[in-house]
Amino acid sequence: MQSHRAGNALAAFSFVLWGILPLYYHFLPQANTNELLASRIIFSVPVMLLIIMILRQPLPSYRAIINDKRSLIFTVIASLIMCISWYAFTWALTHGQVLAASLGFFINPLFAIAFGVFFLKERLSNAQIAAVVLGIAGISYQVWNYGELPWIALIMGSFFALYGLCKKFIKYNALTSVTIESVVLAPFAIAFMLWQYLQGSSVALSSDIQTLLLYMGSAPVTLAPLIFFALAINRTSLTMVGLMQYIEPSLQFLLAVFLFGEIFDEVKLVSFGFIWLGLLLCTLEALIRGFKNKHRLRAQ
């Protein structure tokens, strides 16, 4: 019981850290998103190795990695997909679009449900069907009124769901796969940063030390929540993790509206309302299922 509570606390804390990330990126307005992404990739390698040492996990075996070619291929694909999702996320946070980032994480579970049906042949419950329909209705309402798709939110939500789908086919543990993702992309990121510097157009390498440190810090501040999440995942249930994941976009939503002063008009209220209602139905269904399963186990 104590371990379970500790797991819940660690999971909640990890999502809180992810949720308040906009506060960090608020110090980098109009940042060069390409360099920000490259900096995160480069400095993720030493940070991930440090995390593995802190958690006393064995270092990934080169032979084991190479022998599992299927996992390696999907890890490379996952790294490229994450780049796209993270690029959209960092652009949103550094260009006054935190509300769009929040929407992206709110609709991510809907994309995950859809991909589960199309690629994994999973069957939808009534609540999940309703959530997908309500999500489509919410996005459609925004498109109808604004005349354009919420591209940032859709890219974030869909590519992060694709990233999760790739993880289904990777046998490496979570820390190993994330480390490999960084190692694979690091040479390209280093080459890009050097090219930017030689061209005289590098923001991170040509600015003051504070700006450079902020670019470098994008790796640890985004990976720190992973430490707590990795510690939590074996100490709590996936149901609780699924329910607590909405802490992140909820905090981002509150920061966008009440701290950063982004416009939350009637159109967004209706659009978000549809999506929130669908997520509420899925949450209630998960809680009821968890309660029934617990009651059944006690009866046995």
Residue 24, pLDDT score: 93
Residue type at 110 in one-letter notation: L
Residues 6 or more apart whose Cβ sits within 8 Å of residue 150: 100, 103, 139, 142, 143
Q: 8 falls in which pLDDT band (50, 70, 90)?
A: confident
286 to 5, 251, 271, 290: CA distances (angstroms): 19, 22, 23, 6
> Could you tell me how far CA 219 lies from the centroid of its own chain?
14
Distance CA 44, CA 296 (A): 44
Structure-token pair, residue 123: 């069957």
93 to 63, 99, 143, 248, 298: CA distances (angstroms): 39, 9, 22, 14, 46
Mean pLDDT of 154-167: 89
For 92-106, write each residue's pLDDT tens digit.
Answer: 999 889 999 999 989
Q: 144 falls in which pLDDT band (50, 70, 90)?
A: very high
For 168-186, write each residue's pLDDT tens digit.
Answer: 888 888 788 888 999 999 9
Residue 242, pLDDT score: 65
Is 238 a residue whose pLDDT tops 60? Answer: no
Residue 159, pLDDT score: 92
Higher pLDDT, 116 or 152: 152
Is 44 a residue whose pLDDT tops 90? Answer: yes
Is 269 a residue whose pLDDT tops 90? Answer: yes
Q: 112 falls in which pLDDT band (50, 70, 90)?
A: confident
Structure-token pair, residue 42: 């480069």
**Secondary structure (DSSP) of the chain:** -HHHHHHHHHHHHHHHHHHTHHHHHTTSTT--HHHHHHHHHHHHHHHHHHHHHHTTPPPPPHHHHHH-HHHHHHHHHHHHHHHHHHHHHHHHHHTT-HHHHHHHHHHHHHHHHHHHHHHH-PPPPHHHHHHHHHHHHHHHHHHHHHSS--HHHHHHHHHHHHHHHHHTT--S-HHHHHHHHHHHHHHHHHHHHHHHHHTT--STTTS-HHHHHHHHHHHHHHHHHHHHHHHHHTTS-HHHHHHHTTHHHHHHHHIIIIIS-----HHHHHHHHHHHHHHHHHHHHHHHHHHHHHHHHHH-
Residues 6 or more apart whose Cβ sits within 8 Å of residue 229: 10, 11, 14
Stated pTM of the model: 0.86
Is 30 a residue whose pLDDT tops 70? Answer: yes
Share of the chain above pLDDT 90, in %: 44
For 205-235, write each residue's pLDDT tens digit.
Answer: 887 898 889 999 999 998 888 778 767 766 7
Domain segments of the chain: what residues? 2-299
Mean pLDDT of 129-147: 90
Name which of 111, 93, 99, 119 is nearest 157 in CA terms.
Answer: 111
Is 23 a residue whose pLDDT tops 90? Answer: yes
Residue 273, pLDDT score: 94
Highest mean pLDDT out of 35-39, 109-113, 282-286: 35-39
Q: Average pLDDT of the chain?
A: 86
Residue 1, pLDDT score: 55
Q: 300 falls in which pLDDT band (50, 70, 90)?
A: low
For 239-261, write each residue's pLDDT tens digit.
Answer: 666 667 788 899 999 999 999 99
Q: 237 falls in which pLDDT band (50, 70, 90)?
A: low
